[in-house]
Each structure stands twice: as structure tokens, then as C-alpha cells.
């Protein structure tokens, strides 16, 4: 399977992710800002356990880029270290160390020296629980008793007058979710009330106004009249036919001819379903695939990406109105003869699904005056060719 090219986010994009995450938005909502899957965003946030890293800044006493530019120009004209130090109001030893650690007088370059200084300054602060192992053992013991970090922090302040034994609940959380600190073992996460892998904002909730809804949908009421009266071929209805073990296949029915196509779907997440439908759409000419009407299932959350990739408009039924795609509902009922309820659909290859679709398409249909969908579809291909 061809993998998507990995995307590298800018610092501005990452800042936007953290801002939305701290406001309590879901990974899925944040991912929609970048037209990516939620796993792409999770990769960035999980690096620090869902806790926003503190922004880096330069110490006030460090040399600035402007000062390094002055050093570089002065060295180029042969000025002494003492004269450079006097001009910058710095100690001669500061200028001497700066030059020696950055390629010497002959190779000193201001921008290169500034970049190296920024890299060398990256020293993560040692966590209190790493320095104070006895305190870390006390905290770990209370976590195993299902105490919350806030309860532990409050109990430590009440029980110990020595401030060395005081630690904030936020430090405990950070030590659990940011394993790079090396303070508390990851297994202790199991003892928290909520055993999630990343820290969530206190504002997070899934009970939003649009939870479980697909955004920016085009209602079936906006579908052209030529689609409604089946006068023009190329308009399809689709849905997922579900089996046991969380397995499913996509079923597509052409409204005019009742021609059926089946698509193997490895899993139900939106990215997988959309990718499979995009690949399938390339097998038909544009004249025979103009629109797709679907139910309100969340597997079509990425419908805009499907439309951009295929130029096929997606329409959605009204909530709790599956009969609005009656051809597809009827076909799914016919398919149960081949795939009874409780069948594990993941065992069927695409070749097997094609064979089942062929058998169904070669059965005469009363609604077609007992012609077969295959015959009608071939007539359509001939007329459009």
C-alpha cells in the first residue's frame, strides 16, 4: 500500500495545534484545520504527553546576533580582542571564548556562531522527582493506591514541613506523561482515574454541538432534479454493509441502472474509507460517476477530500432518513443472501466481492422490466462512448 508523504509542520502550525488543544478541542477537529488525519496531529502532541512544551528564550546576558556580527566584522579587519570587548562593553574573556568555540579567528561567522549557541543552550531542567528519589518513591507508592496527583501534592504539604518533600500536582502529571524526564514509570498511568496516554485540557469535552456530525455537508435536498427522477446516468448511492468482528464493505448502486459495485474496506475510519472510494472512482469514466449520495455515517467525514480528488459531489441524506437512498437500502437487503448477518466480511478479497457483484448484476430486475443491471449499464456505456 502506498504511504502518504509525511508532513512537517511549521512552528506557527504547531503553536496553533497547542492553542486549540489547550482550549479542549479534539484531535479530529484540530486535524481538519490542516486537512489531515487525527493521527498526524497526535504524533506532534504525544511527543510531550499532550503537555505544551515551555517556549525557549535566550538568556539576557548572552551575546546577541548583532554583537556577533560586530565581532565578525572586527576580526575581518584585524581588530584585537581587547578593542572588540571595549566596543561591545564586554569582558575580553567573553569575546575570547566566543571566538575559540566557534572556529577561531579565521573561520568565525556570526550566523553560524549564533545558531551553535542556540543549540548548545538547550539544556532541559532536571525534574525534582529525578533529583529527589525518596520523594519519587513516596509519590509512586501513593499513585499505586489510586491517589490522584492533587491529593498526593496536598498530603505532602500537610505531612512534611521540609519543602524538599513538596511537589506540585502538575509536576507529578508531567513526570507521568513526559517519560523523557525519567522520574516516574509509565506503568503508573494505569492507576490514574483516567488512563489516557496524553494529558487533556480541563476544558475538553466531546459533548460539543457538532459531536458525531459531519461538517460542511450538502443536503440531499440540494441534489439536482435530474438525479431525483433517474433521467441521467452516473449518480450513485452508497453505504457500508457491516459484518461481524467490526468488518464492512462499501456498497455502491447506480440509480438509473441499479448496477452494483462492491469495495473492500479494511477498517471503518474515515481516511481508509475515503482512500478506498477515491481509488475505486478512478475505474469509471467521469460521465458515469457524477455524484454520490450517502447516509450520515462518520466514515464520510472526509467527504470534501473525496470531492477534491475525484470531482464527484457528495450529498447526504437527512438524519434518520435512510429510505432517501432506497436503491442502496434495497440492494443491501439483496446482498444479505450472499453475506448473511454475522458474517466476517474481512475474509473476502476484492476479487470475491467482484464475483458477488457480477452475480447480482446478472439477475433480472422487475423494476428494469426484467432486464439485468449489467445489460442496462452496458447500454449506458455504449451511449456515452
Is the domain of 327 the same as that of 308?
yes
Q: What is the pTM of this model?
A: 0.48
Is the domain of 105 the same as that of 161?
no
Would the CA dihedral through 18, 269, 252, 378 be positive or negative?
A: positive
Q: What is the pLDDT of residue 3?
A: 54
Q: What is the pLDDT of residue 1?
A: 42
Is the domain of 236 the same as that of 334?
yes
- Cα(first)–Cα(last) distance of the chain, in Å? 32
Domain boundary, last residue among 179, 211, 243: 211
d(CA 381, CA 233): 10
Exposure class string for 328-355: b at 16+ Cβ within 10 A, else e: bbbbbeebeebbeeebebbebeeeebee
In a domain, 1, yes or no: no
262 φ, ψ to 5°?
-115, 140
Domain total in the chain = 4
Is the domain of 324 the same as that of 375?
yes
In a domain, 203, yes or no: yes
In a domain, 283, yes or no: yes
In a domain, 375, yes or no: yes
- Whichever domain contains 328, its CATH number is 3.30.420.10
Is the domain of 207 the same as that of 238?
no
Residue-number span of the structural domain to which 244 is assigned: 220-384
Is the domain of 363 the same as that of 229?
yes
Per-residue pLDDT of the chain (385 residues; tens, 9 = 90+): 455 566 778 888 888 888 888 888 888 888 888 877 778 888 888 777 777 877 777 888 889 999 999 999 999 999 999 999 999 999 999 999 999 999 888 899 999 999 888 888 776 667 888 888 999 899 999 888 888 888 999 999 999 999 999 999 888 888 887 776 777 887 888 878 776 667 766 655 554 444 456 788 888 889 888 888 888 899 999 999 999 888 999 999 999 999 999 999 998 888 999 999 999 998 888 889 999 999 888 888 889 999 999 999 999 998 888 888 889 999 998 899 899 988 899 999 999 999 999 999 998 888 898 899 999 999 888 887 6
Is the domain of 114 the same as that of 132?
no
Is the domain of 193 the same as that of 278?
no
The CA–CA distances, whole Å, from 71 to 67, 76, 89, 112, 259 equal 6, 9, 12, 13, 77
Is 247 in contact with 344 (CB distance < 8 Å)?
A: yes
Is the domain of 111 the same as that of 148?
no
Is the domain of 257 the same as that of 363?
yes
In a domain, 27, yes or no: yes
Is the domain of 80 the same as that of 188?
no
In a domain, 52, yes or no: no
In a domain, 300, yes or no: yes
Domain boundary, last residue among 93, 120, 147: 120
Is the domain of 180 the same as that of 134?
yes
In a domain, 307, yes or no: yes
Amino acid at each position: 500500500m502506498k504511504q502518504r508523504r509525511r508532513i512537517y509542520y511549521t512552528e506557527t502550525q504547531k503553536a496553533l495545534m497547542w492553542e486549540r488543544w489547550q482550549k479542549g478541542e479534539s484531535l479530529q477537529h484540530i486535524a481538519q484545520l490542516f486537512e489531515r488525519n487525527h493521527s498526524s496531529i497526535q504524533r506532534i502532541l504525544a511527543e510531550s504527553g499532550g503537555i505544551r512544551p515551555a517556549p525557549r528564550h535566550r538568556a539576557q546576558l548572552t551575546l546577541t546576533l548583532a554583537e556577533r556580527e560586530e565581532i565578525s566584522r572586527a576580526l575581518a579587519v584585524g581588530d584585537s580582542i581587547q578593542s572588540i570587548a571595549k566596543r561591545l562593553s564586554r569582558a575580553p574573556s567573553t569575546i575570547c571564548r566566543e571566538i575559540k568555540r566557534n572556529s577561531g579567528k579565521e573561520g568565525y561567522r556570526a550566523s553560524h556562531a549564533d545558531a551553535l549557541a542556540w543549540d548548545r543552550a538547550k539544556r532541559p531542567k532536571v525534574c525534582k522527582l529525578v533529583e529527589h528519589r525518596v520523594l519519587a518513591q513516596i509519590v509512586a507508592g501513593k499513585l499505586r493506591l489510586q491517589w490522584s496527583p492533587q491529593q498526593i501534592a496536598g498530603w505532602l504539604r500537610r505531612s512534611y514541613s521540609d519543602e524538599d518533600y513538596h511537589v506540585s500536582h502538575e509536576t507529578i502529571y508531567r513526570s507521568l506523561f513526559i517519560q523523557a524526564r525519567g522520574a516516574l514509570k509509565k506503568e503508573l498511568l494505569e492507576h490514574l482515574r483516567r488512563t489516557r496516554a496524553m494529558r487533556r485540557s480541563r476544558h475538553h469535552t466531546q459533548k460539543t454541538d457538532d459531536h458525531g456530525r459531519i461538517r460542511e455537508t450538502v443536503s440531499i435536498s440540494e441534489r439536482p432534479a435530474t438525479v431525483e427522477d433517474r433521467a441521467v446516468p452516473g449518480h450513485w448511492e452508497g453505504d457500508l454493509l457491516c459484518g461481524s468482528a467490526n468488518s464492512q464493505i462499501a456498497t455502491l448502486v447506480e440509480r438509473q441502472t441499479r448496477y452494483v459495485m462492491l469495495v473492500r474496506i479494511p477498517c471503518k475510519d474515515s481516511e481508509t474509507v475515503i482512500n478506498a472510494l477515491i481509488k475505486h472512482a478512478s475505474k469509471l469514466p467521469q460521465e458515469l460517476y457524477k455524484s454520490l449520495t450517502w447516509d450520515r455515517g462518520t466514515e464520510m467525514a472526509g467527504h470534501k477530500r473525496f470531492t477534491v480528488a475525484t470531482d464527484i459531489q457528495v450529498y447526504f441524506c437527512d438524519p434518520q432518513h435512510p429510505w432517501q437512498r432506497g436503491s442502496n437500502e434495497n440492494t443491501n437487503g439483496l446482498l444479505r443472501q450472499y453475506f448473511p448477518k454475522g458474517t466476517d466480511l474481512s475474509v473476502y478479497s476484492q476479487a470475491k466481492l467482484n464475483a458477488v457483484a457480477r452475480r447480482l448484476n446478472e439477475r433480472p430486475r422487475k423494476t428494469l422490466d426484467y432486464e439485468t443491471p449489467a445489460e442496462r449499464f452496458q447500454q449506458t456505456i455504449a451511449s456515452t462512448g
